Structure 1
Amino acid sequence: MEKVRLIIAEDEAPLREHLAEILRNEATLDLLGCAADGEQALQLAMQFEPQVALMDIKMPRMNGIEATRRIKYALPSVQVVIWTIYADDQNVFEALKAGAIGYLLKDSPPDEIVQGIHAAARGESQ
């Protein structure tokens, strides 16, 4: 089975590092890079052309909604999954309108995060 190539964007360093550690330890995933804001996420997407981008919404410099819009415009094949605290956040709906395929809650167990990433890579919304 080919590894799913992905990037993550999360402005809170401890959470970003914890998530990166979980994803690096998953044999079916290839974590290409971590961004601290939307601009970095866009740069990483352009550099690596990942299959999946796991995207926080509220970040400095460029928020996740605008980063999603720009990534989907430049690289339509990249599946953006929103990484959020609240499922009913109005921002989630804005991100879906911007081109995100779905969302994952930040308190999801690691296996659900991995499953969500794989589903997105297959083009399935969650």
Structure 2
Amino acid sequence: MAEDNLRHVQRLQASLDSQDAAFAKAIEQVAKVRDFVGTPEHILGNNKTKHGEIAEQVEVGIRNARSYLRQQTTNATFDGVGRTAPADYLIDGIQVQSKFINGVSNNLDHVLKHMGKYGNFGRDGSY
């Protein structure tokens, strides 16, 4: 009986240690977003358009933080994507272009302009 209790305690401790590590990784993702937002002079655009790049950072950072909390592999990255490329980031290796424009019709206009500028975007598996 004591041996069973010891194994149970060891499994519980391993699970708690794993949760602690996952939480630490999640907090690192949030800190990256905070650091990015904390240096607005490095964010592309003017004061009326910086929100777009901030939203991209939040999307990737929070998505990855949630993955860590679930103890899953992260699936969003900026790696391999230029800051002024047709895509903003990758999710599961798929190119994503996000638009954060004021007003539904304005948002749609920007999406259509982007698809016009980059003919294959949205037609090649990207979105």
TM-based fold match above 0.5: no
Structure number with higher strand proportion: 1
Q: Looking at both structures, which has the greater relative contact order when contacts are Cα pairs under 8 Å and sequence separation is at least 6?
A: 1
What TM-score does the superposition give when structure 1 sets the normalisation length?
A: 0.30
Q: Which of 1 and 2 has greater Rg?
A: 2
